[in-house]
Amino acid sequence: MSNPYQPPDAPVITPLPPGHPSVVKAIIEAFSSLTLERSAILLGLAIPQLAFDLATESLQTSGRVGLFWLLLLATLPFSSLRAAFCMSAARSDRSAHAPSGGVALREAVEAWRRVFLADLVAGLITTLATLLLIVPGIYLAVRFSFVDVVAFENRLGPAAARKRSGQLVDGRFWPIAGLGLVFLLPGTTLAISTAALAETIPLLSSGLVVTLVSLGSSVLSALGSAACWFYYRDLPQYEPPDGPATD
């Protein structure tokens, strides 16, 4: 007869199998997934960010700091929605059927809350680490590269998504860091350079330039999520989406 007071056996933790999918392949697939219809929807989802970017200078010069931060916070959900849309489109490209952009958008709306919460918590942690010390912030940003992917694909909550993302990055830090730079660096560099040279070259502060930089950065950021999804899908430990959301 077994002892009812005997503690249960410790769970067996199986190490994740190795695997290094092609970063180049993931990048190519991400850009290839951007059809004309999907591009139009993605640009439409970038309009709130564009409106904020166009209003930034006037809000700062007029001293309306509170309104500035309020509008900035309002743009964050649309960033997660764009990411979810691109991941939904990427998933359809790997399936036996390719639904329309409207179907991908509906799937993105359904998954938006999970992606937004996971991104928000990971972003706050990364920002805090960056303010304290830059290097830990960069390290955490790479560790959290798959947060939105696993929140979208496997219906994980913020804590579970961060843990799973860290497991996926283990042993693949530099390839994934390079994958992120491909989509983050061009938009960030362009935005910083145009802002720095705006006083010297007035044309760079024109509405047209701001519009192009804003839309370009928004699209690249969302495509980065699609590239991470393609990379994740090729991993040996890819988990098909099923089951209820967990945290």
What tens-digit pLDDT sequence spans the chain (247 residues)? 445 444 444 433 334 445 678 899 999 999 998 889 999 999 999 998 888 888 876 776 666 777 777 888 888 899 999 999 999 999 888 876 666 788 889 999 999 999 999 999 999 999 888 888 888 889 999 999 999 999 999 999 999 999 999 999 999 999 999 999 999 888 788 777 776 666 677 766 677 777 888 888 999 999 999 999 999 999 886 766 654 445 5
Q: Which residue has the tokens 């991908």?
A: 104
The predicted structure's pLDDT at residue 99: 61
Contact 80, 221 (CB under 8 A): no
Exposed, middle or buried by CB within 10 Å (0-12, 13-18, 19+), for 63? exposed
The predicted structure's pLDDT at residue 11: 39
Phi, psi of 147 (to 5 degrees): -60, -50
The predicted structure's pLDDT at residue 16: 43
Contact 47, 55 (CB under 8 A): no
pTM metric for this prediction: 0.81
β-bridge partners, 156: 246
The predicted structure's pLDDT at residue 243: 46
Element (H, E) at 160: helix 158-169
CA distance 145 to 122: 9
